[in-house]
Amino acid sequence: MSRTAAAKLKKIEREPLWDLAHVQLRDALLAGHFAPGRALPLRDLAQTFGISITPVRDAVTRLVAQGILQQGPRNSAVVPHLTVEELRHLTLVRCELEGRAAREAAARPDAAALARLDRQLATMRDLIARRQLDTYLDVHRAFHFGIYALAKIPILQEMIENLWLRCGPVLSFVVPDYVLLRKGSDHHAAALAALSRGDPSTAEAEIVADIEEASRYLVSLADGKGLLRPPSAAA
């Protein structure tokens, strides 16, 4: 091909289908839309996305490699159950990473970002007051990751997201009982206040307390085998 012809060509900007499928699966897992133990047949996912099975398989293979999904039988993946011990390990690492992200965020004040966090906190409180929690976890996640984005350490945020992907299916267990009890809501407000006044130590402490408090509630839902179950099953 001549240089003239090559110069007229433009880079193809369209994202690979497997990447788009990965984003949708990731967002669904983060939002807790897939319960632990749920099978995800690749063909069903492909039909839902309106694409062929090959990019879906590629996306699922990536999530399996990350330890977020498990390989299932007959061309499927499975959302893994989480044990008390696994949650303890995840909580330990989450506290270290998310606490550090909050500490770094407090050292980088951003008026626009803080105003956005304040609006998200108000939305969470309003959803609790109206007992309309369908979107609560989405706003809650946006609030936390809005804080972590302020740290401006991309690799730290990427690691935190990976941990949330592993926890996502059981984080949905906090709705509705735990959320309606408003447990942890004061930690959100205190963390935001610490960010606003540039107080790294308190920002870190409040985020850590929020994670640990939710973890203790989830542990209380474990069955006799140490598997975390939704409140209705644990009762």
Q: What percent of the chain has pLDDT over 70?
A: 91
For the ranges 69-73, 134-138, 144-148, 171-175, the one whose mean pLDDT is highest = 144-148
pLDDT of residue 185: 61
Q: Comparing 7 with 79, which gets the higher pLDDT?
A: 79
At residue 33 the predicted structure's pLDDT band, cuts being 50, 70 and 90, is confident
Long-range contacts of 45-50 (CB under 8 A, 24+ apart): 45/21, 49/20, 49/21, 49/24
pLDDT at 31 over 90: no
pLDDT average, residue stretch 45-52: 91
pLDDT of residue 12: 36
pLDDT at 14 over 90: no
Mean pLDDT computed over every residue of the chain? 90
pLDDT at 11 over 60: no
pLDDT at 234 over 90: no
pLDDT of residue 109: 87
Q: What is the pLDDT of residues 204-230, one digit of tens each?
A: 999 999 999 999 999 999 999 999 999
pLDDT at 7 over 60: no
Q: How far apart are CA 53 and CA 7, in angstroms?
A: 35
Q: How far is CA 5 from CA 1, 8, 9, 10, 48, in A?
A: 6, 5, 7, 11, 40
pLDDT of residue 217: 95
Q: Comparing 186 with 117, which gets the higher pLDDT?
A: 117
> What's the per-residue H, E or C state across the chain?
CCHHHHHHCCCCCCCCHHHHHHHHHHHHHHCCCCCCCCEEEHHHHHHHHCCCHHHHHHHHHHHHHCCCCEEECCCEEECCCCEHHHHHHHHHHHHHHHHHHHHHHHCCCCHHHHHHHHHHHHHHHHHHHHCCCCCHHHHHHHHHHHHHHHCCCHHHHHHHHHHHHHHHHHHHHHCCHHHHCCCCHHHHHHHHHHHHCCCHHHHHHHHHHHHHHHHHHHHCCECCCCEECCHHHHC
